[in-house]
Structure 1
């Protein structure tokens, strides 16, 4: 009889433990609630809502170590990375760019532009003014003050108009064969005082050199050509791309 009671007690205890694990497992899988900033995490993937009813924007962030609030190291600007038409914020995570920048003391954030990746479309970005306002909201919501803006290919449609009217809001600009450079005049570019690194692959026979012809009018620019790389030079030669990007960041004051 005592043996039977012992077995029954063990069975009940096992059933209770199974129930507790069952209840806790979904919560563990869900992780942080949607909309949570999560900046203290070493590698956070979260959403941030835009003001005035704008759709949320999906972003990935890697903070520079266990500093309070994920703040960047003194003197090292935040870095905001946009993406090309065939890519998303996940590209910069997969390449190790976010982790590399965080290791250098930068707060690194990559976003999915509206209609790409996990960010829903937004009608407001159909116009140039809307795209400028969109980046302004992103910087404000993320608490990024004068970041370095990295803009490959299609994202030039967002970054270039922002640069021309809000260049003083940026510590630096890194266009990677961006689209839309012909939409602006040499005089417009000459008025921009933002330090710029013009990057492209030497096998990019179209957009890279075409963008250079316009962007060379920026007064504070330098050029880095990635050898053996095509249009998406950061994919073809990530180490060379990272070296050029870090070299530029280290020279910024």
Structure 2
């Protein structure tokens, strides 16, 4: 019995190239980051993708049948930029669930220039307030890992009425405030941390536990950047929290 005839190597290479091109053409293209300017400082904004058309920013999607549409603003830690949330799939998962999602580059990170207003606690709170105001985001849930606590916690203390939810992930700067200050904040809060993070997670929990309207999720097998180590569990916890707020 004769074996199956083999195709010439040139034909195989051509077929392989054709399949690669077809796969590439079939993939949805990602939109370029939207650059937003505040005063003299550029702040990079990466808007969430829609599940119906990945080339359209989420702000163009019609709201779902909900009393209000939650808008999720994602900050980042010292080792990352706004693109983390795109690479991790967080922006897409949020938008597919019906939430407008926006990731920001903090001053001095990614494509955002350093800003002198970031040198003070008041300046950082005002900067975040101005960003949210100029982007016209309402019903905000603020996701704040690690270093971004320098921005989110001053904002929480001064303007927590503007937040409908807060998701701290082992944020820094909690030592700055007293248990009494935390206990005065009624913002619904989801505290997420990695079980293997024995440093900043434990330090921040000492103060965050005084928030009267909070729940806690500990991600097993995860360290400080728990969203990287257990992305599936992180996304599940975040989406469950958002759905309850809605």
TM-score tier, shorter chain, comes to 0.7 to 0.9
- Structure 1, residues 140-159: CA drift from partner, whole Å, max 9, x if none? 11110131000000000100
Q: CA deviation at 1:44?
A: 5.0
* RMSD between superposed Cα atoms in Å: 1.7
Which of residues 61, 65, 84 in structure 2 aligns to 1:70? Answer: 61
- How far off is 1:54 after superposition? 3.0
What pairs up with 1:1-253 in 2 under 5 angstroms?
43-50=31-38, 53-64=39-50, 69-70=60-61, 72-73=63-64, 74=66, 75-253=68-246
Spell out structure 1 runs of 4+ moving beyond 4 A.
Answer: 41-44, 63-68
Counterparts of 2:33 and 2:81, CA distance in 1: 13
- Name the residue aligned to 1:33: none
- Which moves more between the two structures, 69-78 or 91-100? 69-78
Evaluate the alpha carbon distance shift between residue 47 and residue 72 of structure 1 in structure 2; reply closer, same or farther with a 3 A threshold: farther
**5+ long unaligned stretches in structure 2:** 1-28, 53-57
- Alpha-carbon distance between aligned partners in 2 of 1:43 and 1:214, rounded to the nearest angstrom: 39
Distance apart, 1:64 and its partner CA = 4.2
Residue 196 of structure 1 and its aligned partner are, at CA, apart by 0.1
Q: Which residue of 1 aligns with 2:26?
A: none
**8 Å contact from structure 1 (residues 135, 158) kept in 2:** yes
Runs of 5+ consecutive residues of structure 1 not aligned to the other structure: 1-40
Report the equivalent of 1:16. Answer: none
The verdict on how the C-alpha distance between 1:71 and 1:175 changes in structure 2, with shifts beyond 3 A counting, is farther
SS of equivalent to 2:212: coil
* 1:68–1:60 distance in 2 versus 1, CA, 3 Å: closer
Alpha-carbon spacing, 1:80–1:238, altered in 2? closer, same or farther (3 Å): same
Provide the secondary structure at the position in 1 that maps to 2:154.
helix
Asked whether the 8 Å contact 2:59–2:100 carries over to 1, the reply is: no
Q: Is contact 2:51-2:92 (8 Å) kept? A: no
Q: Distance in 1 between matches of 2:129 and 2:89?
A: 26
Aligned to 1:224, the other structure's residue is in SS state strand
Q: Which has the larger radius of gyration?
A: 1
Higher relative contact order (CA 8 A, sep 6+): 2
Cα deviation digits, residues 40-75 of structure 1 (max 9, x gap): x9845110111xx33111111115456873354333
Aligned residues: 211
